[in-house]
Amino acid sequence: DVKVTQSSRYLVKRTGEKVFLECVQDMDHENMFWYRQDPGLGLRLIYFSYDVKMKEKGDIPEGYSVSREKKERFSLILESASTNQTSMYLCASDPDGSSGNTIYFGEGSWLTVV
Amino acid sequence: RKEVEQDPGPFNVPEGATVAFNCTYSNSASQSFFWYRQDCRKEPKLLMSVYSSGNEDGRFTAQLNRASQYISLLIRDSKLSDSATYLCVVNGYNAGNMLTFGGGTRLMVKP
């Protein structure tokens, strides 16, 4: 069974703090993704990675960075958290790019910035 | 205009009812289409792919109308356990051919 694990489920951070969201997958997938989900807006792609040390911007990369030092781990970094980054963050992995029927999501990380 | 648009609902229906959701997409070059289900405070999970000829999976029927650029999901004989948010997902929009998600339609099935 594919497992995508987001280690932090619920976080409360202060404005200006640096925040790390960690994601690990155990199926040796090449592709990993970070999305954020806000009410009524659906999932929006922040960054994705097709390989170790490789990253590509998604639709809303501003205010975020990522790190992929190992194939199984994809980290999302908020360099200086702001209140408009309060959201639910979803990590995903996929062996086939972004095909829609082979993508697996983690359970989500709920971040509140105060 | 949103790239993938859905009526947010909520749709409140009694058990046993038939309910239909529509989703419109703006890019006529889109290639692949899906319906995902998302339970409250959980991750999205694939419900079904949507094929050009339409497809059925038990009580669920998905249809694609390329000419009008919309996708539909029909749920027959609704169960309490069908209560969830249903996300319309389209492949083929942005850089890298990524998935684009609609905002979701919330369904509440009442006893």
What would the pLDDT profile of A21-73 be if each residue is shown by its tens digit?
Answer: 999 999 999 999 999 999 878 899 999 999 998 999 998 999 999 999 999 99
Longest dimension (CA), chain B: 44
Nearest to A99 among B8, B91, B100 (CB): B91
Burial of A30 (0-12, 13-18, 19+ CB in 10 A): middle
Which of A56, A100, A107 comes nearest B43 by C-beta?
A: A107
Q: φ, ψ for residue B80 (rounded to 5)? A: -55, -35
Q: Nearest CA to CA, how far is B16 from chain A (Å)? A: 27
Confidence of residue B72 (pLDDT cuts 50, 70, 90): very high
Evaluate if residue B93 carries a pLDDT over 70.
no
* Record: contact B101-A56, CB cut-off 8 A: no
* pLDDT surpasses 90 at B39: yes
Please report which confidence band the pLDDT of residue A16 belongs to, taking 50, 70 and 90 as the band edges: very high
Torsion angles phi and psi, residue A99, rounded to 5: -85, -15
Sorted by sequence, the CB contacts under 8 Å of residue B79 that are 6+ apart come out as B15, B59, B109
**How deeply is B30 buried, as exposed, middle or buried, from its count of CB atoms within 10 A (0-12, 13-18, 19+)?**
buried
